[in-house]
Amino acid sequence: MTTRPTLAALATALAVVVGCGPTDSPRQAVVPAQGKVKLKDGKVPEGAEVTLLPANDDSPDGVKPRGRVGKDGTFRLTTYPGASAEPDGAPPGEYRVAIRWTTRKRASAVDPDEGGPPGPPSLAGDRFGEKYSNPKSSGLRVTVAADGSLSPSVLVLVN
């Protein structure tokens, strides 16, 4: 009977020893999630970048599900990028939302030798004027339900 606590103590000690060194926060279970944004006038901010920040977790290495707005206004969230560019989803819960729209109004020619579409580095001006770039002050919130649906289902933005 006494061996069991001893074993448990040993296992704990081992876990502590193994756990030393840099540890990653454990990955959370994700559900495929997609939402929709549109402008007040009904247009779509194609190419805008949507970043979710957990409502109650400000730790720098917390999850930050992200997605790009497509032609039809939908964005699919990726929490843990994998080998394919296919979005994996987001952990259910409440989030604050940041949206930046830095794609240029005028598309330019594509040079395949650039290794992808060309573009100026980092983030030209945000076409929302930074109104939604801070999730704490953007006023946008979404909840990811267990089935992957987002509420509100459409975020309406003012350009």
Partner 1 sequence: MTTAVRTRRGFTLIELLVVIAIIAILIGLLLPAVQKVREAAARSTCQNNLKQLGLALHNYEGSRGQFPPAAKWDFDAPAGSPTNYNRHSMFAYILPEIEQGTVANIYTFDSQWSTAPNRAAIATPIKTFQCPSATNPRFTTTSAGYQRATSDYAPLAGLNPQLANLGVIQPRGTSGYTEGGFGLGAYQGFFVNVWKDRDPTTRHGDVRDGLSNTIAVVECAERPKLFVRDKEIAVALEDLDNPDNSTNGSGQVTGAPWSQPRIQIVIDGFTPGANTFFGPRVINATNASEVWSRHTGGANLLYGDGSVRFLRDSITADDFASLVTRGAGDIARND
Q: Which is nearer to partner 1, 16 or 109 (CB)?
A: 109
112 lies in the binding site for partner 1 (CB under 8 A): yes
Q: Is residue 92 a contact point for partner 1 (CB under 8 A)?
A: no
Q: What is the nearest approach in angstroms of partner 1 to the Cβ of residue 149?
A: 23
End-to-end Cα distance, the chain: 70
Decide: is 148 part of the binding site for partner 1 (CB under 8 A).
no
The H or E element spanning position 78 is none
Q: Pick from 72, 113, 146, 147 the residue near partner 1 by CB under 8 A.
A: 113
Residues in contact with partner 1, shown as a per-residue x/- string from 5 to 34 under the rule CB under 8 A? -------------------xx-x-------
Distance CA 76, CA 34 (A): 4
- Comparing CB distances to partner 1, the nearer of 5 and 115 is 115
For residues 122 and 102, what is the distance between their CA atoms, to the nearest angstrom? 9
**Residue 10, class by beta-carbon neighbours within 10 Å (0-12 exposed, 13-18 middle, 19+ buried)?**
exposed
Which one of residues 7, 43, 118, 153 is an interface residue with partner 1 (CB under 8 A)? 118
Beta bridge partners of 34: 76, 149
Amino acid found at 42: G
Tell me: does residue 72 bind partner 1 (CB under 8 A). no
d(CA 30, CA 91): 4
Number of chain residues interacting with partner 1 (CB under 8 A):
53
Which SS3 state, helix, strand or coil, does residue 149 take? strand
Q: Which residues bind partner 1 (CB under 8 A)?
A: 24-25, 27, 47, 49, 51, 53, 58, 60-61, 63-64, 66, 68, 79-85, 98, 100, 102-104, 106-127, 130, 133-136
